[in-house]
Structure 1
Amino acid sequence: MSRGGHAKSREDGPERKCIATGEAQPKTGLIRFVVGPEGQVVPDLTGKLPGRGIYVAAQKEALEKASKKGLFSRAAKQPVTVPEDLVNVVEQMLSRRVVDLISLARKSGDAVAGYEKVKDWLSKEVARVLIQAEDGSSRGKSKLSTPYGGTYIGWLTADELGMAFGRQSVIHAALGAGGLAPRVVEEAQRLKGVRVGTSDTDRAGRGQRKG
């Protein structure tokens, strides 16, 4: 998969309709919301909270539209309270989820960090996912290439990657095939839509690919 391209999920699964775009798509590309007991809209990233699900595409623009146009109340058929900073709330939750998944992959030996270790995994074709901090040096990032047929994630910060590896900051990381890699890619794609927005997709892949 090319940098910035949409990764195919593990299982597209059943489709749901986005209340903002009106389009039906697999749940993996949507954010599920439920209405809490006090009438508040609550993001349900795992899809496990009780209640009727309300779905919005994992896109900054779709979330903003749903929040500002009263679409949650219409979908819930009742007045609801929506956080004023809904996009930021969802972005932070998704970021935390991606960081936690990478951390779990690290603990199981399926993730490495640091230029030399990542370079080694890439040369041995162990890495299937290349992750580079969006605020890292473009020159440094251009020295590593996305694995052939693999995936590139370039919209996490150095601090976020650092949290995943128990360090202050990380610029380069890689995931091996299998394990939690598909889930990391899936959740990272949702984060990309919310963080970057569809109008600036190139930002997600600023590192230059060699070859």
Structure 2
Amino acid sequence: MARREETTRICALTRAEKPVAALIRFVLGPDGVLVPDTEAKAEGRGVWISLSRDAVAEAVKKKVFARSLKSEVRLPDDLPGLTQLRLEQRYLNALGMARKAGQLTFGATKVRSLIDTGNLIALITATDAAADGRSKMVGPLKALHYAAAEEEINGFEVPHFELLSSEQMGLALGLENVIHAALTRGAAAQAAVEKARRLALYTAKPTEKDTDRLAVDGDLLPEATDERREIHG
């Protein structure tokens, strides 16, 4: 029971108790402007909101932050957008660290080889990737999951993230463009996966059940990764 109390907070918008992995914290900056505390480490009183762009927008609309902090709150022009930007920056920084650690592989041929051997922990595709190129990666990845299920390998899952454009990833990583990439085993790569999960949850529209499963099990459902475009509707 103690573990639950340490790892859950109340969403100020819905008043629902959720794991901290399914929430994002906001605090007042030194200048009195509300900012997203993406690391959840800033000093001062914080306001927790469900990890969803729609939820943050709704919290702004209903003036949840001022009510929770019991004081006047200055908001940035686009808090949902700023929050997404911060989450994107954390993800890109983590990819950069994974690259330095030798745990990020680029290029269709190399990535496809990793899928064929199962030596990856996440597949990354640019949002502007060509449909045929995407299918050449997603098809084998689904086959890999199917083979693991046939062999009754419990807990095997390689998430697929489509979160940023090739230009965004290329600029952050010092490359011309990044269309296909894969994260391999290692602490830096695992940290990048966790940052990707949070960004995926924030920009997607998962159900309450999906959000809670992410927080409890640490696994993003295949529907929220491989078929992310369908979630967006």
Structure with greater helix share of residues: 2
The residue aligned with 1:124 is 117
In the TM superposition, what is the alpha-carbon distance from 1:203 to its structure 2 partner?
8.6
Structure index of larger Rg: 2
Partners of 1:118 and 1:174 within 8 A in 2:
yes
Q: Percent identity?
A: 32
Question: Out of 140, 160, 173, which is 2:181 matched to?
Answer: 173
Question: Out of 43, 47, 52, which is 2:40 matched to?
Answer: 47
Greater relative contact order (Cα 8 A, min sep 6): structure 1 or 2?
1
Partners of 2:12 and 2:48 within 8 A in 1:
yes
Residue by residue, what CA displacement relative to the aligned partner does 1:14-46 show, whole Å, maximum 9, x if unpaired?
011111222222212211111223332111111
Name the SS of the counterpart of 2:77 in structure 1: coil
Residue by residue, what CA displacement relative to the aligned partner does 1:76-127 show, whole Å, maximum 9, x if unpaired?
0111111120111011111111011011101101110110111122222211
Task: Find the aligned partners of 1:197 and 1:124 in 2 and give their Cα distance.
Answer: 32
The residue aligned with 1:18 is 11
RMSD: 2.3
The residue aligned with 1:159 is 167
Equivalent residues, number: 195
Name the SS of the counterpart of 1:49 in structure 2: coil
Partners of 2:91 and 2:196 within 8 A in 1:
yes
Task: Find the aligned partners of 1:67 and 1:24 in 2 and give their Cα distance.
Answer: 20
Task: Find the aligned partners of 1:138 and 1:50 in 2 and give their Cα distance.
Answer: 45
Supply the AA of the counterpart residue of 1:19: A
Supply the AA of the counterpart residue of 2:201: G
1:86 and 2:102 are equivalent in the alignment: no
Task: Find the aligned partners of 1:169 and 1:162 in 2 and give their Cα distance.
Answer: 4
1:109 and 2:117 are equivalent in the alignment: no
| Structure 2: gaps spanning 5 or more residues | 1-5, 146-156, 208-221
The residue aligned with 1:3 is none
Taking the TM superposition and a 5 Å limit, the aligned residue runs for 1:50-61 are: 50-61=43-54
1:191 to 1:207, Cα distance in 2 relative to 1, 3 A: closer
TM-score (structure 2 length as normaliser): 0.76
Name the SS of the counterpart of 2:160 in structure 1: strand
Partners of 2:160 and 2:225 within 8 A in 1:
no
TM-score (structure 1 length as normaliser): 0.83
Task: Find the aligned partners of 2:45 and 2:180 in 1 and give their Cα distance.
Answer: 40
Name the SS of the counterpart of 1:52 in structure 2: coil
Please identify runs of 4+ aligned residues in structure 1 that moved more than 6 A: none
Question: Out of 182, 195, 199, which is 1:187 matched to?
Answer: 195
Name the SS of the counterpart of 1:123 in structure 2: helix
Task: Find the aligned partners of 1:113 and 1:50 in 2 and give their Cα distance.
Answer: 38
